[in-house]
Amino acid sequence: MNKTIIIIGTIIFFFSLLGYIQNIRNKKRLQKLNESRPNLTRTEYINRLVKKGFDKQHAEVVHNEIREFIQMDEFSIYPEDDIHKIYGIEDLDDIELIDKICEKLNLRKAEQKDLDEVNKEIKLFNAEYILTLTKNLAE
């Protein structure tokens, strides 16, 4: 019995350690990326998306929710950033992010058919993807 507890405790410890190490690597990778490109202000971020034809309020909400979701205040986010690859948001988390954005914009929750429609046009999960989805939901 004691051996089982020790083995389980050791396994939990190693998985926790692995997660911690992965977190540190991810932060260093993001820090390196952040240093390699100019800082993009919130206004510049929103203006880039508005120039592409997206609603300003939607762009503001997307910016705020991505910023809140990734919880990296010092990191300069870009509209074209692949949210999965750069910010490490996994598949189930992206649905949660989309749901939060839809809720803030008083839109219905996106269904799989809505996502499939956007997937035909856009392959990267980025701000433009989310704004295309919200634009479609608002129509």
Q: Would you list the domain boundaries of the chain?
A: 1-36, 39-138
Nearest to 135, CA basis, from 56, 54, 57, 61: 54
Measure CA of the first residue to CA of the last residue in the chain; give whole Å. 61
How far is 99 from 103, CA to CA, in rounded Å?
A: 6
- Identify the pLDDT of residue 44: 95
Nearest to 40, CA basis, from 86, 78, 82: 78
Whether pTM > 0.85 for this model: the answer is: no
* pLDDT tens-place values along the chain, 139 residues long: 677 878 887 888 888 877 777 777 777 777 787 777 888 899 999 999 999 999 999 999 999 999 888 777 778 889 999 988 888 777 778 889 999 999 999 999 999 999 999 999 998 999 999 999 999 998 8
Going by the DSSP 8-state scheme, the letter that residue 105 receives in this structure is T
Residue 42 near residue 63, CB atoms below 8 Å: yes
